[in-house]
């Protein structure tokens, strides 16, 4: 990351931190950063690195002292500028390098390698409907993908300063511990950051995203349109839920976090789960399509299924919701039904 990029990103972070409730100022900074992000896909990764350093080091200054560092360097160049153009260019180049190093050290006092400007190749793995797969990432972390899910990760993940992956759907992670290279999962509006732990993320489009921890400790942020919430820290047998209505994260204790990964053994566990989510889960697991003549809005289901047939699942729902169903190849038609 060059000097100008560092200056731009840090200026944005400092202004955002010190806005102190000034909505107009925050919106101006958000607009600038969104325009910058749209210019180059690599900018998103550079911003993530700056955010990580910002969050895990000393607090940002409440003034523009860091800008003075650049002004001092620039002023000295003007005073001592040689007449020869070649020498001036050499001084400017050297000052740019020195300025970037000085600013980096001034803020963070850490030794993280800077992202390279070369194009990064990404790999995507997917689990089709009715299937589950397990994969080993380049850094030796293990991932189990639920049916209908996919994960993307950089080919050079084991060498990245930040081990960043992107998840669509549901997955269980067993992350290899590496304190010098944090592991970050992007899933819809959430960022889950860990050093080494095991946890489950459920991130289906249109449904609340959940992160459940089985071992270790994770930090979860809500990140929407560049605005990041305060972190929620989770310990074993705790989970956070991203409420779609309030756009806030909630922390809950769970009796047994193992139930969150029952899907790895073919289990389906519903606890006051909206019927729409139940139908979506059935579609993914059994590779079928469900068509109902009503929305079942407000209806919820509590049930446990352990590696049972599709017919057994439908029979249970039939008795619980008083529905009638027919099956035509891979399509299930549901009529009637009522909430208990």
Q: Residue 181 — pLDDT band, cuts 50, 70, 90?
A: confident
User: Are 133 and 203 in the same domain?
Assistant: yes
User: Are 11 and 103 in the same domain?
Assistant: yes
Residue 215 lies inside a defined structural domain of this protein: yes
User: Are 248 and 188 in the same domain?
Assistant: yes
State pLDDT tens for residues 215-252. 998 999 887 655 667 788 899 999 999 887 777 888 99
Range of the domain at 241: 122-257
Gap between the Cα atoms of 248 and 242, Å rounded? 6
- On the question of pLDDT at 172 being above 80, the answer is yes
Q: Residue 288 — pLDDT band, cuts 50, 70, 90?
A: very high
Strand pairing report for 163-174 and 198-203? antiparallel
Rounded to two decimals, what is the model's pTM? 0.64
User: Are 253 and 271 in the same domain?
Assistant: no
State pLDDT tens for residues 94-142. 444 445 444 444 444 444 444 444 567 899 999 998 999 999 999 999 9
State pLDDT tens for residues 24-54. 666 676 677 777 777 776 777 676 666 655 5
- Cα–Cα distances in angstroms (integers) from residue 337 to residues 209, 272, 276, 319, 321, in the given order: 28, 17, 13, 10, 5
Q: Which of 198, 223, 257 is the last residue of a domain?
A: 257
Residue 287 lies inside a defined structural domain of this protein: yes
Residues near 222 by Cβ (< 8 Å), separated by ≥ 6? 189, 190, 228, 229, 242, 247, 248, 249
User: Are 10 and 52 in the same domain?
Assistant: yes
User: Are 92 and 13 in the same domain?
Assistant: yes
Residues near 83 by Cβ (< 8 Å), separated by ≥ 6? none
Residue 231: its pLDDT value, please? 82
User: Are 73 and 145 in the same domain?
Assistant: no
**CATH number of domain containing 211:** 2.60.120.1440
User: Are 251 and 301 in the same domain?
Assistant: no
CA atoms within 13 A on the CB side of 228: 18
Closest CA to 53 of 105, 3, 96: 105
Contact, 18 vs 62, CB < 8 A? yes
Residue 116 lies inside a defined structural domain of this protein: no
Residue 62 lies inside a defined structural domain of this protein: yes
User: Are 127 and 195 in the same domain?
Assistant: yes
Residue 114 lies inside a defined structural domain of this protein: no
Gap between the Cα atoms of 313 and 71, Å rounded? 69
Residue 222: its pLDDT value, please? 85
Domain count, the chain: 3
Write down the mean pLDDT value for the chain: 77
User: Are 150 and 195 in the same domain?
Assistant: yes
Residue 294: its pLDDT value, please? 84
- Pair of tokens at residue 126: 């997917």
In this predicted model, which residue has the larger pLDDT, 13 or 202? 202
Residue 74 lies inside a defined structural domain of this protein: yes
Question: What is the C-alpha end-to-end distance of the chain, expressed in Å?
Answer: 59
Question: What is the CB neighbour count within 10 angstroms for residue 62?
Answer: 10
């Amino acid at each position: 990351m060059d000097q100008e990029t560092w200056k731009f990103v840090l200026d944005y972070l400092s202004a955002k931190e010190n806005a102190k409730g000034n909505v107009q100022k925050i919106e101006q900074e958000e607009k600038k950063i969104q325009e910058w992000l749209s210019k180059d896909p690599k900018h998103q990764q550079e911003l993530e690195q700056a955010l990580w350093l910002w969050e895990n080091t000393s607090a940002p200054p409440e003034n523009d002292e860091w800008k003075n560092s650049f002004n001092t360097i620039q002023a000295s160049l003007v005073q001592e500028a040689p007449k020869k153009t070649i020498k001036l260019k050499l001084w400017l180049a050297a000052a740019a390098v020195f300025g970037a190093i000085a600013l980096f050290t001034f803020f963070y006092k850490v030794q993280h390698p800077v992202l390279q400007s070369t194009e990064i190749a990404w790999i995507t793995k997917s689990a089709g409907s009715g299937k589950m797969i397990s994969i080993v990432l380049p850094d030796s972390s293990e991932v189990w993908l639920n049916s209908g899910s996919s994960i993307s990760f950089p080919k050079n993940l084991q060498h990245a300063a930040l081990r960043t992956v992107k998840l669509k759907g549901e997955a269980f992670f067993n992350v290899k511990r590496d304190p010098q290279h944090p592991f970050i999962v992007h899933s819809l509006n959430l960022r889950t950051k860990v050093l080494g732990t095991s946890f489950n993320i459920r991130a289906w489009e249109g449904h609340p995203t959940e992160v459940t921890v089985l071992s270790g400790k994770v930090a979860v942020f809500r990140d929407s349109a560049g605005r990041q919430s305060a972190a929620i820290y989770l310990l074993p047998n705790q989970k956070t839920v991203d409420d779609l209505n309030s756009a806030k994260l909630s922390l809950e204790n769970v009796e047994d976090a193992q139930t969150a990964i029952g899907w790895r053994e073919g289990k389906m566990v519903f606890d006051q789960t909206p019927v729409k989510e139940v139908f979506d889960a059935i579609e993914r697991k059994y590779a079928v399509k469900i068509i109902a003549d009503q929305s079942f809005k407000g209806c919820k289901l509590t049930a446990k299924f352990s590696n049972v047939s599709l017919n057994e699942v439908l029979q249970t729902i039939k008795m619980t919701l008083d529905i009638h169903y027919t099956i035509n190849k891979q399509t299930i038609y549901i009529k009637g039904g009522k909430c208990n």
